[in-house]
Amino acid sequence: MSNGDPLLEVSHLVKHFPIKSGILLEREVARVHAVDDVSLTLHEGETLGLVGESGCGKSTLCRAILQLIRPTAGSVKFQGEELVGRSRKELQPLRREMQMIFQDPFASLNPRKRVGQIVGDPLRLHGLASGDALKRRVQELLDRVGLSGEHYNRFPHEFSGGQRQRIGIARALALQPKLIIADEPVSALDVSIQAQIINLLEDLQDEFGLAYVFVAHDLGVVRHVSDRVAVMYLGKIVETSPGAGLYERPIHPYSTALLSAVPIPDPEENREREPLVLDGDVPSPVDPPSGCRFHTRCPWATDVCSELEPPLVNYGSGRLAACHHPLNLKRGALSKATISEESPAGAADALPSEPGKADLPVGA
């Protein structure tokens, strides 16, 4: 999968939102640490799943990658070109290559525009087609996403949720991008429709060689579509792994807890397993916990977890995790582990001294 240079390279990306107070002289009183030193790479034709709970910074990360919001620090390289610091005008030609699909198909389509206009606007704005050619191209796109050319003159309100998401996908495809960032593209849809949209996204990936960053909170959906999965917690990536590895042997306790919390649609298995239920809620990103951000909820946390931020450690075969007490490691994995280049700048530089002890069974 990973041959050649990555399509997208995000290094040490930071996005903090200032909280200001005062009437005339606004002073910054605090910061929301939405994305805090996140690195990831994505190759052509690959799907990276991004999971985490609400408020963990998934959506902010997506927007910061596309420069829809300006990152506070860090770098985003697309096909080797730096995006951070470019002006709107300088970004414009690159926008053709990077598109986004949004969560809410009801809010992401302009209700006063016809479908033909919605899907055709990107082509028109980039000067790629006009007149009859534009209309033909839009109708082709509508056909391709499972709508019909006849829908050209309809308004968004005439469509169901699933159909609207298809319109959003057609719009994203219009410029033949290489990268599509899909932010919770199926969360608002019913299960039977979810499967339709996921299958469509996979077909389009095969046909056009698209790379996806696929954001979702549904771990089942993410497993189905992703080659690799990154787990986020409070603005940090806590674990990155090829899909199968993560689901079978999660290293980070948060991944373990997240997987354990997913209800299994099988009564027998449910009766047999004892899920790990986390206490409490996700802490506030305004004042994130010291050390490992997960230590306030982690059943395995010790003193070191509240003092030192764990480095992102590379355990080989594409598996990275940031934990002082890594779980589910194979024998000897720890001795070969190294600190990853992607590890946050503020993290400690000591490898975990020993593997975590209590290996709770997860999933099956």
Partner 1 sequence: MSPRATASGPLLSVKDLEVGFATEDGLLKAVDGVSFELARGEVLGIVGESGCGKSVTAQTVMGLTRSSNARISGSVEFNGADLIEASDDDLRKVRGESIAMIFQDPMTSLNPVYKVGKQIAEQILAHRDVSDKEARDRAIELLRDVGIPHPERRIDDYPYEYSGGMRQRAMVAMALSLEPEVLIADEPTTALDVTIQAQILTLIEQLNRDRDLAVVLITHDLGVVAEVADRVQVMYAGQVVERGTLDEIFYDPQHPYTWGLLGSLTRLDRPRPKRLPQIAGQPPSLLSPPGGCRFRPRCPHAFEQCAELPSLEGRLGKRSEHADRCWLQPKEKESRRSVDGRIGLGAPAA
**Contact call for residue 148 and partner 1 (CB under 8 A):** no
Smallest gap, in angstroms, from Cβ of residue 352 to partner 1?
24
264 binds partner 1 (CB under 8 A): yes
Nearest distance in Å: CB 148, partner 1? 14
In the three-class reduction of DSSP (H, G, I as helix; E, B as strand; rest coil), residue 231 is classed as: strand
Please tell me the total number of residues recorded for the chain in this structure: 364
Task: Report how far residue 20's alpha carbon sits from residue 173's, in angstroms, rounded to the nearest whole number.
Answer: 39
Q: Which is nearer to partner 1, 209 or 220 (CB)?
A: 220
Closest separation between CB of residue 207 and partner 1, Å? 14
Instruction: Give the dihedral of Cα atoms 344, 347, 232, 280; nearest 10 deg.
Output: -160
Q: Are 183 and 62 in contact (CB under 8 A)?
A: yes
Residues 156-185 that bind partner 1 (CB under 8 A): 160-163
Give helix then strand counts, H and E, for the chain: 12, 13
- Cα 69 to the chain's mean position, in Å? 16
Q: What does the DSSP 8-state code read for residue 157?
A: G
* Bridge-based pairing state of the strands 47-51 and 211-215: parallel
Stretch 266-285: interaction string toward partner 1, x if CB under 8 A? xxxxx----x-xxxxxx---
Report the C-alpha gap between 43 and 228 in whole angstroms. 11
Question: Which tokens hold the place of 82?
Answer: 């730096």
Per-residue binder mask for partner 1 (CB under 8 A), 284-303, x = binder: --------------------
Report the residue from 174, 258, 323, 337 that binds partner 1 according to the rule CB under 8 A. Answer: 258
Q: Is 257 in the site for partner 1 (CB under 8 A)?
A: yes
- Residues 51 to 90 in contact with partner 1, rule: CB under 8 A: 53-54
**Nearest distance from residue 337's CB to partner 1, in Å?**
26
Measured distance CA(43)–CA(307) in Å, rounded: 36
Identify the residue whose tokens are 């990103």: 285
Q: Which of 220, 299, 316, 361 binds partner 1 (CB under 8 A)?
A: 220
Of 22, 265, 274, 335, which lies in the binding site for partner 1, with binding defined by CB under 8 A?
265
Residues of span 232-251 touching partner 1 by CB under 8 A: 243, 247
Q: How far is the CB of 279 from partner 1 (least distance, A)?
A: 8
Q: Give the strand order in the sheet containing 98-101.
A: 98-101, 179-183, 211-215, 47-51, 228-233, 236-242, 320-321, 313-314, 338-339
- Give the one residue of 97, 104, 121, 202 binding partner 1; rule: CB under 8 A: 202
Indicate the residue among 83 and 298 with the shorter CB distance to partner 1.
Answer: 298
Q: Which is nearer to partner 1, 40 or 246 (by Cβ)?
A: 246
Taking CB under 8 A as the binding criterion, the range among 81-89, 148-156, 259-267, 329-337 that sits at the site for partner 1 is: 259-267
Q: At what angle do helices 115-125 and 161-173 cross, to 10 degrees?
A: 20
User: Least separation, in Å, of the C-beta of 159 and partner 1?
Assistant: 10
3-state secondary structure of 81: strand
Contact (CB, 8 A) for 243 and 227: yes
Binding residues vs partner 1 (CB under 8 A): 53-54, 160-163, 190-196, 198-199, 202, 217-221, 223-224, 243, 247, 257-270, 275, 277-282, 363-364
